[in-house]
Structure 1
């Protein structure tokens, strides 16, 4: 049986101007903190370019299994980043999590 990966994406707008030092710091801190969690693979910081989307930025990452995804969600570093930074600095948020259908 083939193991499917989970692709986790979080798209968001910050309370700061898009090109501000505060935005750069949030994105860099997110990358450092979240990509350091052992179960996280292929971490990317994304900048939206489509006029069809209402979000400015995104974080994308992959997990090898549901257990890894669950471990990420309950990991202390993730929980602290969400509480101390996400809930304070993010004004709009959309999370999309997909199981890969690679054949």
Structure 2
């Protein structure tokens, strides 16, 4: 059963800033390099109902692939070095087909 992993977040950086662009580009490069990550997408919020401005979404073939991603040194490093200091607020959702 595949898992869709999604995080919706607001950066500490100003919208449209070079820091925002760099974070998103670095996230794409780092996270897509991890084996098992499929269909990685970065989306931008267009509704004024939420101040969480961005979304990362990706698919994993199964729970083993998802757990391997969570434990992968690239993911662990990205979270510690970039996510924690640069993300002001987030929500995380993991879905399987109903």
TM range (shorter): over 0.9
Q: How does 1:1-103 map to 2 (within 5 A)?
A: 4-101=1-98
Secondary structure, counterpart of 1:92 in structure 2 = strand
Taking structure 2 as the reference length, the TM-score comes to 0.96
Which structure 2 segments of 5+ residues have no match?
Answer: none
Q: Which of structures 1 and 2 has the bigger CA Rg?
A: 1
CA-atom RMSD in angstroms: 0.8
Count of residue correspondences: 98
SS in 1 for 2:36: coil
- Structure 1: runs of 5+ lacking an equivalent: none
TM-score, length-scaled by structure 1 = 0.92
**How many angstroms apart in 2 are the aligned matches of 1:59 and 1:47?**
9
For the residue of structure 2 that corresponds to 1:18, the secondary structure is coil
